[in-house]
Amino acid sequence: MKLKARLLLVEDDSYIATLLAAHLGQGGLSVMSARSIESAGRQLEQHDFHLVLLDLGLPDGDGKDLIRSIRRTSDTPIIVISARQQEQEKVQCLDLGADDYLAKPFGMDELMARVRVALRHASVMQLRERQVRVGELLVDLQQEKVSLAGAEVHLTRIESRLLLLLAQVPGRVVTHRQLLQEVWGPEYIDHTHYLRIHMGRLRGKIETEPANPRYVRTEPGVGYRLSEN
């Protein structure tokens, strides 16, 4: 990373905010802080950020409202950092367009790893990368072709669309709802059994051990993610 990535940290707990800002700063990021939704909104108007780290329980509202308002105008990666552990909360944030969700308490190494993934995705999106490689799996996003150890894998249209959706954001969870909506349409967002069936078939074609998948990982109750290289 040549330019310092600029990060907005939205966290009202001053002890956590100070700790995080120190670590992120040591990790080479330039950190600005906001303690409320209102102050975050102001900072976002005044500066361009490469990444937003967002707590949900804020004094003037729910951080989810901020995800919603950021996504109306920008693709800036958002990582939610929250003490709320419920799966439902996580799913809602991801469905609203957050890129990742880290439950407190978390380790600094874990945080830095997620930050790097999010920043890499942001630059991948800018470069419009055409191919994604994970281990021996190669997904060509442009030509919509998939190969494993150099041999083309023949996928059905549905299997291929599912894999391409995951491959657009390697390492990041894509929720059940997002996958169902993209592949089958908005009226199918509750048909999670479709996903189980077709992901099972997809794994049968690309995984050596479909029961212990190396490429397409299950995030229980939330969605699926393609492993990173």
Residues that bind Ca ion (CB under 5 A): 12, 55, 57
CB distance 217 to 227 below 8 Å? yes
Given the complex with Ca ion, which of 80 and 166 has the nearer CB atom? 80
Looking up tokens 């995984």 gives: 207
Given the complex with Ca ion, which of 35 and 177 has the nearer CB atom? 35
In Å, how far are 142, 180, 188, 227 from 192, measured between CA atoms? Answer: 28, 7, 8, 21
Helices (H), the chain: 14-26, 37-46, 63-73, 87-96, 108-127, 157-167, 176-183, 192-206
Given the complex with Ca ion, which of 12 and 99 has the nearer CB atom? 12
- Residue at shortest CB range from Ca ion: 57
Least distance (Å) from Ca ion to the CB of residue 63? 8
Least distance (Å) from Ca ion to the CB of residue 11? 6
Question: How far is Cα 183 from Cα 181, in angstroms, rounded to an integer?
Answer: 6
Given the complex with Ca ion, which of 62 and 182 has the nearer CB atom? 62
Question: How far is Cα 117 from Cα 8, in angstroms, rounded to an integer?
Answer: 16
What six digits make up the tokens of 20?
């995080």
Least distance (Å) from Ca ion to the CB of residue 170? 30
Least distance (Å) from Ca ion to the CB of residue 81? 9
User: How many Cα neighbours within 13 Å face the side chain of 13?
Assistant: 12
Least distance (Å) from Ca ion to the CB of residue 72? 23
Least distance (Å) from Ca ion to the CB of residue 4? 26
Question: How far is Cα 77 from Cα 106, in angstroms, rounded to an integer?
Answer: 19
Given the complex with Ca ion, which of 54 and 174 has the nearer CB atom? 54
Reduced to 3 states, what is the DSSP secondary structure of residue 108?
A: helix
Given the complex with Ca ion, which of 54 and 183 has the nearer CB atom? 54
